[in-house]
C-alpha cells in the first residue's frame, strides 16, 4: 500500500530523517519504535501528507502522496494522536458520527447505512453507554475510546496511531489494541502505530520499523528484531526478555 523510497526531511539546518526506505503491506500492523527524537512522529506526518518531504518519494496505492486531495486522504486515512483535544460540547454520539463526514453528501443527514456503521463502531469500543454524554465531561480513557470509535466509523484503509491510547490504563489500552488487531486480521485494516511500550509493540505488531537518530536501523518481525542486545543498543538501556505463555515481556 505504501512505498517509501529515499525519503529525507530537515527542519531548518537539522536533519530529522535521512534516506528512509521501506514498504507497508495491506492488512499488516506496523509499529514505529525508537528513542525520543529519532523521527517517529515526523515519519508518520510524512506518511499522512501533513508534512512535505525534502527528497525521495512516498507512494500510496502507486500514487505520490502529495498528489492526493484532502478529501481523498480523508476517505482513506484515519488518524488518532495522543494530543487530540475537543473544546466544544458535542455529545459522544455526535463526535463518532463525524467520522462519516467524508462520505456524506453536503447538507444531507447520515443514511441508514452510515448510522449502522456508527452503531457498530460504538458497540465494539463499548462507548454506546455514554452516547448522550458531552465529550468535554468524560474521562481521558473514555475520550480516547470515543475517538477510536470515530476513526473506525471512517472505515479507513489505513489507521495511523501516534501514541494514541496514552490516557488509558494498561488493561483498556490492550483492549483497544485487540479491537484494532482483530480488524487487521478480519478486514485487512492496515495500521501504522507509534508505540513507546515495547511489550505492546511486540504483542500486536506484524512488523516493527526501528528509528534511531533519524535513520532506519531495522525493519522486520518483532520476534527477529527485538532481541535483548538490539534493544539495549538502540535505547541505551538494559532489558531482559522473559517468555511467558507465548508472550514476550521486556523488563
CATH number at residue 226: 3.40.50.300
Predicted pLDDT of residue 150: 98
Predicted pLDDT of residue 12: 87
Separation between Cα atoms, residue 100 and residue 248, nearest integer Å: 38
Domain that holds residue 221: 2-250
Predicted pLDDT of residue 84: 86
State pTM to two decimals: 0.93
Sign for the CA dihedral angle at 111, 114, 119, 122 comes to negative
CA 68 to each of CA 42, 47, 221: distance values in angstroms, whole numbers, following the listed order = 19, 12, 30
Predicted pLDDT of residue 181: 97
Asked if 9 and 54 touch (Cβ cutoff 8 Å), the reply is yes
Predicted pLDDT of residue 247: 65
Q: Over its length of 251 residues, how does the chain's per-residue pLDDT go in tens digits? A: 899 999 999 998 899 999 999 999 999 999 999 999 999 999 999 999 999 999 999 999 999 999 999 999 999 999 999 888 898 999 999 999 999 999 988 778 999 999 999 999 999 999 999 999 999 999 999 999 999 999 999 999 999 999 998 889 999 999 999 999 999 999 999 999 999 999 999 999 999 999 999 999 999 999 899 988 999 999 988 877 776 665 667 76
DSSP class of residue 98 equals G
Question: 31 has which bridge partners?
Answer: 193, 208
Predicted pLDDT of residue 246: 56
Predicted pLDDT of residue 238: 83
Asked if 3 and 56 touch (Cβ cutoff 8 Å), the reply is no
Predicted pLDDT of residue 166: 84
3-state secondary structure of 44: helix
Predicted pLDDT of residue 13: 87
**Kind plus residue range of the DSSP H or E element containing 217:** strand 215-220
Predicted pLDDT of residue 82: 86
Count up the domains in the chain and report the number: 1
CA 4 to each of CA 57, 64, 72: distance values in angstroms, whole numbers, following the listed order = 6, 10, 19
Burial of 101 (0-12, 13-18, 19+ CB in 10 A): middle
Separation between Cα atoms, residue 77 and residue 63, nearest integer Å: 15
Predicted pLDDT of residue 167: 83
3-state secondary structure of 244: strand
Amino acid at each position: 500500500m505504501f512505498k517509501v523510497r529515499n525519503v529525507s526531511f530537515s527542519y531548518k539546518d537539522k536533519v530529522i530523517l535521512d534516506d528512509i526506505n521501506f514498504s507497508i503491506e495491506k492488512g499488516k500492523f506496523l509499529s514505529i519504535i525508537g528513542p525520543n527524537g529519532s523521527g517517529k512522529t515526523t515519519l508518520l506526518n510524512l506518511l499522512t501528507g501533513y508534512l512535505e518531504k525534502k527528497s525521495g518519494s512516498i507512494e500510496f496505492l502507486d500514487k505520490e502522496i502529495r498528489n492526493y486531495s484532502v478529501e481523498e486522504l480523508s476517505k482513506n486515512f484515519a488518524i488518532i494522536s495522543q494530543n487530540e483535544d475537543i473544546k466544544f460540547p458535542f455529545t459522544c454520539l455526535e463526535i463518532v458520527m463525524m467520522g462519516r463526514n467524508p462520505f456524506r453528501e453536503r447538507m444531507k443527514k447520515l443514511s441508514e447505512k452510515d448510522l449502522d456503521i456508527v452503531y457498530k463502531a460504538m458497540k465494539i469500543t463499548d462507548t454506546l453507554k455514554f452516547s448522550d454524554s458531552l465529550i468535554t465531561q468524560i474521562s481521558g480513557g473514555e475520550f480516547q475510546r470515543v475517538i477510536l470509535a470515530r476513526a473506525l466509523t471512517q472505515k479507513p484503509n489505513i489507521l495511523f496511531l501516534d501514541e494514541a491510547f496514552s490516557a488509558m490504563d494498561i488493561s483498556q489500552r490492550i483492549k483497544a489494541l485487540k479491537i484494532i488487531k482483530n480488524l487487521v486480521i478480519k478486514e485487512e485494516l492496515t495500521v501504522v502505530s507509534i508505540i513507546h511500550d515495547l511489550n505492546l509493540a511486540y504483542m500486536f505488531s506484524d512488523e516493527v520499523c526501528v528509528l534511531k537518530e533519524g535513520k532506519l536501523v531495522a525493519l522486520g518481525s518483532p520476534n527477529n528484531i527485538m532481541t535483548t542486545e538490539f534493544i539495549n543498543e538502540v535505547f541505551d538501556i538494559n532489558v531482559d526478555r522473559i517468555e511467558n505463555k507465548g508472550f514476550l515481556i521486556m523488563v
